[in-house]
Amino acid sequence: MNNRSFSIEEQGLLESILLSRRDVRGNNFTNQALTEDSINKILHAASLAPSVGFSQPWEFVVIRDIAVKQQIAASFELENDNAKEAFSGERRRLYSSMKLEGIVEAPVNIAVFYQPPSEPVLGQNTMLEMGEYSVVCAVQNMWLMSRAMNIGLGWVSILDPNRVKDILNAPPANKLVAYLCLGYVEAFLDRPELETNKWQAKKSLGPAVHRESY
């Protein structure tokens, strides 16, 4: 199984999934329910991620309860009001016009935590962030598997992580890495919304690639 060779067509399919993945917000989720089987497939994809020293340091809280979502959404509202202060004039107006999360609209939210190790981890000594980075790899696996299942996913980062931990009764040592909203969508947009509305242009790769050294 693992030693199998993939074809050019199969590479092309992976590229198509990467290209089609979008950050989905509340103006695009439908209210079609997500089954437990779908959630389990997405969590299984997470568990196939690489992790430093095979530490598998991820934990998940699957949220369907509207009362929990509403508390999280209140943290978003507070932090988003602060966040828009960083922008002024036309950019502040554009910022304020955007729907940036789908906490309440998405049928399922998943909070993803990093659980720090109780013993030394192989490979996590000079670059301590490797544990968190492993959890991010798991999130990207979830995102791609969701897209392959025609399920939308949005990552909400405009939250107070300590407030989210309190709401979810998370162990003090755990770190919130990602807060995800999942559900079926009206449509997967052709391009990122922030590109279409000219908030941020697509960068060309050339200037970001150096040879041998900077």
Binders of a copy of itself among residues 50 to 79 (CB under 8 A) are 50, 52-56, 58-65, 68, 79
CA count, 13 A, side-chain hemisphere, 65? 8
Chain-centroid distance, C-alpha 194: 16
Residues 7 to 26 in contact with a copy of itself, rule: CB under 8 A: 10-11, 13-23
124 binds a copy of itself (CB under 8 A): yes
Asked if residue 28 lies in contact with residue 51, where contact means CB atoms within 8 angstroms, the answer is: no
Residues 145 to 204 in contact with a copy of itself, rule: CB under 8 A: 145, 147-150, 155, 157-161, 167-171, 176-178, 187-192, 194-195, 199-200, 202-203
- Closest C-alpha to 42, from 115, 102, 112: 112
137 binds a copy of itself (CB under 8 A): yes
Closest approach of Cβ 118 to a copy of itself, in Å?
13
Task: Say whether 189 sits in a helix, a strand or coil.
Answer: coil
Residue of the chain from 72, 103, 106, 139 that contacts a copy of itself (CB under 8 A): 139
Closest approach of Cβ 102 to a copy of itself, in Å?
14
* Residue indicated by tokens 């959630």: 39
Closest approach of Cβ 31 to a copy of itself, in Å?
19
For the beta carbon of residue 130, count every other beta carbon within 10 angstroms: 18
Closest approach of Cβ 21 to a copy of itself, in Å?
7
* Residue indicated by tokens 């998940």: 60
The enclosing H or E element of 109 equals: strand 108-114
The amino acid that residue 191 corresponds to is R
Residue of the chain from 30, 82, 99, 173 that contacts a copy of itself (CB under 8 A): 82
Is 176 exposed, middle or buried, given 0-12, 13-18 or 19+ CB atoms closer than 10 A?
A: buried
104 binds a copy of itself (CB under 8 A): no
1 binds a copy of itself (CB under 8 A): yes
108 binds a copy of itself (CB under 8 A): no
Kindly state the DSSP code that residue 52 receives in the 8-state scheme: G
Closest approach of Cβ 30 to a copy of itself, in Å?
14
